[in-house]
Structure 1
Amino acid sequence: MRGMRGDERGAVAVEFALVVPVLLMVIFAIVEFGLIYNAQIQVTASAREGARAAALGAPLAQAKSTAVAAAPSLSPALTAENVSVSPASCAPGTNVTVTIVNYRLNSISGMFTGGIELSGKAVMRCGA
Structure 2
Amino acid sequence: MRRFRSESGAAAVEFALVVPILLLVLFGIVEFGRIYNAQLQVTSAAREAVRVMAIQKDVGVAKAAAVLSAPGLQPALSSTQVTVTPCVSATETTVTVTYSVDLLSGLFADAVTVTGKGVMRCGG
Task: For 1:4, give the aligned amino acid.
Answer: R
Root mean square deviation, CA, Å: 2.4
Inter-partner Cα distance in structure 2 for 1:70 and 1:15: 48
Inter-partner Cα distance in structure 1 for 2:3 and 2:74: 56
Deviations 1:68-93 (A, max 9, x none): 111111265335x711111x2354x4
TM-score by length of 2: 0.86
Number of aligned pairs? Answer: 124
Structure 2 counterpart of 1:85:
84
Structure 1 residue 12: deviation in Å? 1.2
The answer to whether residue 88 in structure 2 is matched with residue 99 in structure 1 is no
Structure 1 counterpart of 2:7:
8
- CA contact 2:100–2:111 (8 Å) conserved in 1: yes
Task: For 2:110, give the aligned amino acid.
Answer: G
3-state SS of 2:73 partner: coil
Inter-partner Cα distance in structure 2 for 1:127 and 1:24: 51
3-state SS of 1:108 partner: coil
- CA contact 1:96–1:124 (8 Å) conserved in 2: yes
TM-score by length of 1: 0.84
Structure 1 residue 94: deviation in Å? 2.1
Distance 1:112 1:15, change over 3 A: closer
Distance 1:75 1:110, change over 3 A: farther
Alignment of 1:54-69 (within 5 A): 54-69=53-68
- CA contact 1:43–1:119 (8 Å) conserved in 2: yes
Task: For 1:117, give the aligned amino acid.
Answer: T
Q: What are structure 2's unaligned runs of at least 5 residues? A: none
Inter-partner Cα distance in structure 2 for 1:75 and 1:12: 46
Q: Between the two proteins, what is the percent identity of the paired residues? A: 50
The answer to whether residue 31 in structure 2 is matched with residue 32 in structure 1 is yes
Q: What are structure 1's unaligned runs of at least 5 residues? A: none
